[in-house]
Amino acid sequence: MEMLMWFTKFENTKPLALVIFFTLFCMILYYVFGSKQRGERLEDHKNIPLQDD
Protein backbone atom coordinates (compact mmCIF):
# COMPACT_ATOMS: atom_id res chain seq x y z
CA MET A 1 0.00 0.00 0.00
CA GLU A 2 2.92 2.32 0.67
CA MET A 3 4.04 2.01 -2.97
CA LEU A 4 0.65 3.20 -4.21
CA MET A 5 0.78 6.22 -1.92
CA TRP A 6 4.20 7.07 -3.38
CA PHE A 7 2.60 7.45 -6.84
CA THR A 8 -0.02 9.87 -5.56
CA LYS A 9 2.57 12.52 -4.72
CA PHE A 10 3.12 14.85 -7.67
CA GLU A 11 6.82 15.42 -6.95
CA ASN A 12 7.43 11.67 -7.32
CA THR A 13 5.50 11.10 -10.53
CA LYS A 14 7.13 13.89 -12.56
CA PRO A 15 10.65 12.36 -12.58
CA LEU A 16 9.18 8.91 -13.16
CA ALA A 17 7.20 10.16 -16.16
CA LEU A 18 10.32 11.90 -17.48
CA VAL A 19 12.32 8.66 -17.31
CA ILE A 20 9.52 6.68 -18.98
CA PHE A 21 9.05 9.16 -21.84
CA PHE A 22 12.79 9.60 -22.39
CA THR A 23 13.23 5.83 -22.59
CA LEU A 24 10.33 5.57 -25.02
CA PHE A 25 11.80 8.39 -27.14
CA CYS A 26 15.18 6.63 -27.28
CA MET A 27 13.54 3.35 -28.25
CA ILE A 28 11.64 5.04 -31.09
CA LEU A 29 14.84 6.66 -32.36
CA TYR A 30 16.62 3.32 -32.25
CA TYR A 31 13.77 1.65 -34.13
CA VAL A 32 13.75 4.29 -36.87
CA PHE A 33 17.48 4.78 -37.33
CA GLY A 34 18.89 1.50 -35.97
CA SER A 35 18.57 -0.54 -39.12
CA LYS A 36 20.64 0.47 -42.13
CA GLN A 37 18.02 -0.89 -44.52
CA ARG A 38 15.19 0.99 -42.79
CA GLY A 39 17.25 4.19 -42.83
CA GLU A 40 17.86 3.92 -46.57
CA ARG A 41 14.14 3.32 -47.16
CA LEU A 42 13.24 6.41 -45.13
CA GLU A 43 15.73 8.46 -47.12
CA ASP A 44 14.00 7.33 -50.32
CA HIS A 45 10.58 8.22 -48.95
CA LYS A 46 11.51 11.81 -48.12
CA ASN A 47 11.45 12.79 -51.80
CA ILE A 48 8.00 11.35 -52.59
CA PRO A 49 6.18 14.75 -52.52
CA LEU A 50 8.66 16.18 -55.01
CA GLN A 51 8.39 13.43 -57.62
CA ASP A 52 6.32 14.01 -60.75
CA ASP A 53 4.05 11.35 -62.17
Give the whole-angstrom CA distance, residue 39 versus residue 46: 11
Which residues form the domain of 20? 8-34
Which helix (H) or strand (E) element contains residue 40?
Answer: helix 36-45
Structural domains of the chain, count: 1
Considering the entire predicted model, what is its pTM?
0.57
Does residue 47 form part of some domain? no
Does residue 49 form part of some domain? no
CA distance readout (Å), 19 to 22, 25, 27, 30: 5, 10, 12, 16
Give, for all 53 residues of the chain, the pLDDT tens digit. Answer: 787 787 777 787 888 889 999 999 999 988 878 877 877 887 888 888 888 76
